[in-house]
Amino acid sequence: MTVVVLPTLVESTYCKSLWISAKSFSACVCVCVRAGDRLCSTEDCMPGTGVYLRHGYIYSSLAGYVLRKNEGEELPVISVVRETEAQLLPDVGAIVTCKVRFGELLMSTTDVKEDVRATEKDRYISVSLLSGAQMVPISWCEMQCPRTHAKEFRKVARVQPEYLQA
Amino acid sequence: MAGLELLSDQGYRLDGRKATELRKVHARMGLFAQVDGSAYIEQGNTKALAVVYGSHEDRAARLHDRAVINCQYSMATFSTAERKRRPHGDRKSTEMSLHLKQTFEAAVLTNLYPRSQIDIYVKILQSDGGNYSACVNAATLAVIDAGIPMRDYVCACTAGFVDETPLADLCHAEESGGGTSLALALLPRGGHIDHLETLMEAAMTACKGVSKVLDEVVRQHLQEVSALTGE
């Protein structure tokens, strides 16, 4: 399943298994640190993942390697990652391959056209084509895009009305 | 038994250690592939195994803003000299589980995982004093192996007192020898906020106040009794 990363997916707390092949990153990996190591002060870097702030300093919260990413004019982002290849977090807009652990729906084929958004509304996943329109279920196993009228086979989950955003 | 002193005149303990010497520590991480984190530790003859299931959905959704940490402490039936009848569920295990839970709730950054649950299971395979400390240390390694973020390592050890000499890392004979002992777990890098001093002072002042009240009650009672019986 190919996914375009949106900010909400990265923050989702239930997506545990995440194989990431990020398209591009700029990083420099050097030092091995342990949880509790002081890395730098908040004036030198912005905190990324795997770190926490305390009294104006950035400390590591994992045992791993320090990653410093230069974002541009802003301060570099400092994170601690466990394995250098697999755990680099993708930027928004990167193409990733992902497996949803707690979602009810889909085992989709690797169709590059698809754009899956995982939201936090009780693990409800809505599917939309890259045309951007939300697909409408027409039967228990078929969905149709209202714009292009393309039909796709999808298992349709019934969402309870109180969770549906109008 | 003659000669079985906890601390000899030359300053050697039962197992030949000096007073502040720790037992030999062997530890391994990442023992099992099926679980998220695991670790095994040997402190002298005490052996502990810890297994961590990383943050997963908490079906009861008990805390909306952070993770719940479940701990279970148990001892293997073969861990003590006499076969242990009730490995878990007894009062001591429940109490140790609660201590472990409180310890790790302070160290793990639970606010990163709202509405989830982290499970820590620790088993004592061989018990020779310092059970709780071995558990805490094994659990720390297992949590790190699982990649769960923590403020700092949680390190634990016991200490005791014999003839005004403090001993570090007590074995079973020293713990059950009848002297004082203390098990301490802390975050060693100074992330530890310690309220013990202030609490002790407040409690001591309060106890002195209680002592005055009790004194008054006793005096009054004596006066009443002597008034009744006549001088």
Say yes or no to pLDDT of A132 above 60: no
- The per-residue pLDDT for B89 is 78
CA A93 to chain centre: 10
Out of A14, A52, A82, name the one closest to residue B151 (CB): A52
Categorize the per-residue pLDDT at A71 as very low, low, confident or very high, splitting at 50, 70 and 90: confident
- The per-residue pLDDT for A91 is 54
CB-facing half-sphere around the CA of A84: CA atoms within 13 A: 11
Out of B55, B114, B153, name the one closest to residue A36 (CB): B153
Closest chain A residue to B36 measured between Cα atoms? A16
* CB–CB contacts below 8 A, A to B: 47
CB-CB contact of B147 with B35 (8 Å) = no
- The per-residue pLDDT for B138 is 96
Say yes or no to pLDDT of A36 above 90: no
Closest chain A residue to B141 measured between Cα atoms? A63
Per-residue pLDDT in tens (0 to 9) along chain B, 231 residues: 445 678 888 888 888 899 899 999 999 999 999 999 999 999 999 999 999 998 888 888 788 888 999 999 999 999 988 887 777 778 889 999 999 999 999 899 999 888 899 999 999 999 998 999 999 999 999 999 999 999 999 999 999 988 788 999 999 998 888 778 899 998 887 766 778 889 999 999 999 999 999 999 999 999 999 888 765
Say yes or no to pLDDT of A9 above 80: no
Say yes or no to pLDDT of A157 above 80: no
Q: What is the mean pLDDT of chain A?
A: 64
- Whether residues B189 and A62 touch (CB distance < 8 A) is answered with no
On chain A, the residues whose CB falls within 8 A of the CB of B34 are: none
On chain B, the residues whose CB falls within 8 A of the CB of A36 are: 150-153, 187-189, 191
Whether the CB of B61 is below 8 Å from some CB of chain A: the reply is: no
On chain B, the residues whose CB falls within 8 A of the CB of A120 are: none
Q: Where are the alpha helices (DSSP H) in A7-100?
A: 7-11
The distance of B26 to chain A (nearest Cα, Å) reads 19
- The per-residue pLDDT for A16 is 38
Distance, in Å, from the CA atom of B162 to the CA atom of B171, rounded to the nearest integer, reads 13
Helix (H) or strand (E) holding A68: strand A64-69
Q: What single string gives the DSSP state of each residue in B138-184?
A: HHHHHHHHHT--BSS--EEEEEEEETTEEEES--HHHHTTSS-EEEE
On chain B, the residues whose CB falls within 8 A of the CB of A18 are: none
- The per-residue pLDDT for A165 is 62
Strand partners of residue B73: B122
Question: pTM value?
Answer: 0.69
- The per-residue pLDDT for A96 is 67
Whether the CB of B57 is below 8 Å from some CB of chain A: the reply is: yes
CA A30 to chain centre: 25
What percent of chain A clears pLDDT 70, i.e. is strictly above it? 45
In A, residues 26-45, which contact B (CB 8 Å cutoff)? 34-37
The distance of B41 to chain A (nearest Cα, Å) reads 18
CB-CB contact of B107 with B154 (8 Å) = yes
Closest CA to A111 of A128, A89, A124: A128
Distance, in Å, from the CA atom of B105 to the CA atom of B102, rounded to the nearest integer, reads 5
Residues whose CB falls within 8 Å of the CB of residue A81, separated by 6 or more in sequence, listed in order: A29, A49, A50, A62, A64, A65, A67, A87, A88
Distance, in Å, from the CA atom of B107 to the CA atom of B193, rounded to the nearest integer, reads 11
Helix, strand, coil shares, percent, chain B, to 5: 30, 30, 40
CB-CB contact of A117 with A128 (8 Å) = yes
Say yes or no to pLDDT of A121 above 50: no
Out of A13, A50, A82, name the one closest to residue B116 (CB): A13
Where do we find the tokens 């908490």?
B58
- Whether residues B147 and A61 touch (CB distance < 8 A) is answered with no
Closest CA to A138 of A124, A117, A152, A118: A152
- The per-residue pLDDT for B161 is 87
- From residue A29, how far is each of A51, A81, A90, B36, B72 by CA, in Å? 15, 9, 16, 25, 37
Domains and CATH numbers, chain A: 30-81 (2.40.50.100), 125-165 (no CATH)
Average pLDDT over residues A59-76: 86
- The per-residue pLDDT for A114 is 38
Q: Which amino acid is at B186?
A: L
ipTM exceeds 0.85: no
- Whether residues A35 and B149 touch (CB distance < 8 A) is answered with yes
Categorize the per-residue pLDDT at A110 as very low, low, confident or very high, splitting at 50, 70 and 90: very low
Sign of CA dihedral B121, B55, B63, A63: positive
On chain A, the residues whose CB falls within 8 A of the CB of B149 are: 35, 50, 52, 61-62
CB-CB contact of A41 with A58 (8 Å) = yes
Domains and CATH numbers, chain B: 17-229 (3.30.230.70)
**Buried-state track B165-204, b at ≥16 Cβ within 10 A, e below 16:** eebbbbbbebbebeeebebebbbebebeeeeeeeeeeeee
Helix (H) or strand (E) holding B201: helix B196-229
Say yes or no to pLDDT of A128 above 80: no
Whether the CB of A15 is below 8 Å from some CB of chain B: the reply is: no
Residues whose CB falls within 8 Å of the CB of residue B96, separated by 6 or more in sequence, listed in order: B73, B131, B132, B135
- Tell me, letter by letter, the H, E, C secondary structure of A110-135: CCCCEEEEECCCCCCEEEEECCCCEC
- The per-residue pLDDT for A105 is 39
Whether the CB of B114 is below 8 Å from some CB of chain A: the reply is: yes
CB-CB contact of B170 with B130 (8 Å) = yes
Distance, in Å, from the CA atom of A35 to the CA atom of A64, rounded to the nearest integer, reads 8
